[in-house]
Structure 1
């Protein structure tokens, strides 16, 4: 059983711990359990109720009115709000509730509605990425299990692949080509898939080798395809020997392709500059590069 402190509830719901204590005393909306040593704690059902209350308050419901509602009525109202056009912060709360329940139907319905209303790019940057940041925080405080993380990552991965497949380009007469990959022991695939989507959306030819790719396979693909650019993200600090040594080998064996690198380790470590090596420190810089490259080739 996962248990939470009142500070955990504050971090996950955005409602101050002081406010939650007042609500406990005045309205009994949640009631903490106590250990044998009298330490207060909360369970999954308490967290879900606080998340529901947070969503209702954002939509104008007063806590005094929420306290009068039965548990089924609170669940029903939040479910209804998840199906209408609400702000992206509310979608994040709704996605969190669907995740806790491992409710694929609800998770899918929330995302599909937002994508239909705002497009895939806006959904990724305004809903999915902030939600993944919240997911990371939940993992750090131990408020979710690995099953929750697997559920979310697999589901969003499917959405990314579907969005890529929905972009139709029958051939590439001109323009740049990219080889995308993640190095061995690199598993953060969602950002790589999103870059794939952004490139293909601009009409760029993309060869995606996937994750945990040995360097020799990258070299072989470059010898066959001779891409204009190679893009990779390095987030983990293991599996490459030294970061600089790995990049030196990549430059040495990649012929004349330009190397575009990003990721946590690239931002955190100093990399020796090279005329064929371009370091990007954020998603915004990646998008700007794509715009510059496609504009150059289209002129």
Structure 2
């Protein structure tokens, strides 16, 4: 069982810690446990309850009415909302619940409904990525079990694999060549996979090398491919003390390409950029670049003819 601080509950539910404490006293919604050193913590069941309350409140239910609901009634009302109201925050809460319970059926229902309505790309950008950002910090601090994180990550990876399957761009139709990889020791591949999907959808050629690539292998790749762009993501590797040297070396190796770097090891660090290096603070940064490049490289349309893709 995972354990959460009141700040974890606030981060995941959007309900302020001060409000949660008032509810504890006024409605007895949740009763925190205490460690041997008298530190308050909350269980999976507490988090599920707070997420359900948050969903109902965001959909117009008064807290006084919610307080009178039994556990079963509360869950049923939330399920109705999740099935009929595809608001992004509600769907993110539902994904969190499916992670806690390791409920694959619920995960499939949430993703399939949203993909049907919004498409794979919008579902990823508006639901999956905000969800991953929420649980990422909890995973790093040990607030959730590795098994829970692995469970949900593998389900998302399966969805991405299916979406990417069949995407193939030939050299002839390519608008540019991208090399995608993760550094040695880096295993968090979801962002890289989605980047590959976005690029291929816009007819860029992608050389995908995946996770845990030794730096020495980049030299061999350089002899075979001359990419226009290189993308790597440093979430856990290399170490922060080694990131500057690593980025400089890769930038020098692919000096004729633009190197894009993202991930926790880069964000917030005072890293000096070489002329051919760009930092990605969020997925939208990459999306903005490739959309602009896509428009720039698209064939010019005849006078008076509309390009339906962009207008």
Q: CA deviation at 1:219?
A: 2.8
Structure 1 residue runs of 5 or longer lacking an equivalent are none
Distance 2:9 2:271 in 1: 38
The answer for the alignment partner of 2:271 in structure 1 is 270
With normalisation by structure 2, the TM-score equals: 0.82
- Deviation per CA, 1:52-83, whole angstroms, max 9, x where unpaired? 11111111222222222221121222122222
Distance 2:227 2:132 in 1: 32
Distance 1:284 1:37, change over 3 A: closer
Matches within 5 A, 1:136-285: 136-139=136-139, 142-165=142-165, 167=167, 169=169, 172-236=172-236, 238=238, 242-254=242-254, 257-263=256-262, 264-267=264-267, 268-274=269-275, 277-282=276-281, 283-285=283-285
Q: Figure out how many residues of one structure are paired with residues of the other and give that number.
A: 296
- Deviation per CA, 1:66-125, whole angstroms, max 9, x where unpaired? 222221121222122222233101111111111110001101211221122112222222
With normalisation by structure 1, the TM-score equals: 0.85
The answer for the alignment partner of 1:91 in structure 2 is 91
Q: CA deviation at 1:248?
A: 4.6
Distance 1:125 1:113, change over 3 A: same
Between Structure 1 and Structure 2, the one with more helix by share is: 1
What RMSD in Å do the two structures reach over aligned CA positions? 2.9
**Is the 2:170–2:205 Cα contact (8 Å) retained in structure 1?**
no
**Is the 1:175–1:297 Cα contact (8 Å) retained in structure 2?**
yes
**Is the 1:176–1:294 Cα contact (8 Å) retained in structure 2?**
no
Distance 1:167 1:216 in 2: 29
Structure 2 residue runs of 5 or longer lacking an equivalent are 300-311
Q: CA deviation at 1:24?
A: 3.5
**Is the 1:184–1:239 Cα contact (8 Å) retained in structure 2?**
no
The answer for the alignment partner of 1:124 in structure 2 is 124
Distance 1:236 1:198 in 2: 23
